Amino acid sequence: MTELPLLFTPLQLRDLELKNRIMVSPMATYSAQEGRATDWHTAHIGKLAAGGAGLVFVEQSSVNTQGRITHGCLGIWDDTHIADHAALAGLIHSFNAKAAIQIAHGGRKGSSQRPWEGGNPLGEADIKARGEGPWQIAASSGIPFDDGWPAPQMLTSEQIDALVDDYRQAFRRARAAGYDVIELHCAHGYLMHSFLSPLANNRNDQYGGSRENRMRLPLRIAAIMREEWPDNLPAFVRISSVDGVDIGWSIEDSIAFATELKAIGIDMVDCSSGGMKLPRGNSLVSRTPGFQVPFAERIQKEVGMPTVAVGLIREPDYAEAILRDGKATLIALGRELLWNPNWPAQTALALGCDPEWTSWPEQYGWWLKRRVAQQGR
């Protein structure tokens, strides 16, 4: 019997079994209304879940209204959001996939236009055009995200304590909604990343200065996430493995952070990068296939902790090689799945893992299989 490719070998995470090693990465679509999911989310998530991935993430969901990036961000700050999330989790489960959610706070990148509206800070023109005004943003420090952006309010110790409770309540709502996996967003310049990175954090209290202090709040919240999440289900953390080239947060910092996350009981680190505005000479190298895989590899091998590899992983053979070489444990795809949501099911066919077309929804798998047979393919 031919050995099954690792990409389609089930993965056990605590008591949760994923049918394969393909993960749909959380992708913000900025299409919610007052934090509520819409028909768009049903169509979007349904399409991705039907494609055959083992783990499907719903987009980042904000812990409070201040934590939104845009007026269109999905929320989990109120009990009224639970029903919408339960519907999305149930939809994912209906396609024999596991459902996951990313919990986030936009920090100093909040109060922004949607990307297709310009992605700039909200202002008077947005009020006139759509009735969507700006709000007070908050971060680790009062450092603006970029030139022309508003300075965020530096969170006080009391506000941090209130924020921690917001996260706790969000974790509880996520479980009430029926998600199988939860992920804390500590990447891409958002709030938790702004505490970690010395480029955004110039505090002089227990949450700033040394690396130990800058890690304190993200680790505090990660520990609460693990405490609130059922012992039999896995919890992830997404990080920006590096800020850039020879600047700010480094891979060595990420290794130290992952070591602490492992001690807390976090099951996997989702290894992304970037999110800070940097001088041209310090920007990350050109985005080529697998450009973030070395970060996942180092953390997995040096910390002894499973990682998610993400970043222009498009070819099945390359995805399989990453797993075979022990560079990561899960393969996450984002924009590739927007282009072709059936990538997992098609890959299973191409690699000979699914001769009976079981990765495809039976509602159309049967006639696709028949058509291929008739065409002699």
DSSP E strands, the chain: 11-13, 16-18, 22-24, 55-62, 98-104, 138-139, 153-154, 181-186, 235-240, 268-272, 307-310, 330-333
CA distance between the termini of the chain: 23
Q: What gap in Å lies between CA 329 and CA 97, rounded to an integer? A: 17
> Beta-carbon neighbour count of residue 342 at 10 Å?
18
Question: In this structure, what are the phi and psi dihedrals at residue 288, rounded to the nearest 5 degrees?
Answer: -115, 165
Which member of 30, 167, 179, 190 is catalytic? 190
User: Quick check: 81 and 93 in contact, CB under 8 A?
Assistant: no
Q: What gap in Å lies between CA 101 and CA 89, rounded to an integer? A: 9
> Beta-carbon neighbour count of residue 100 at 10 Å?
23
Give the length of the chain.
377
* SS3 at position 260: helix
Instruction: Establish whether 190 is a catalytic residue.
Output: yes
Active site residues: 190
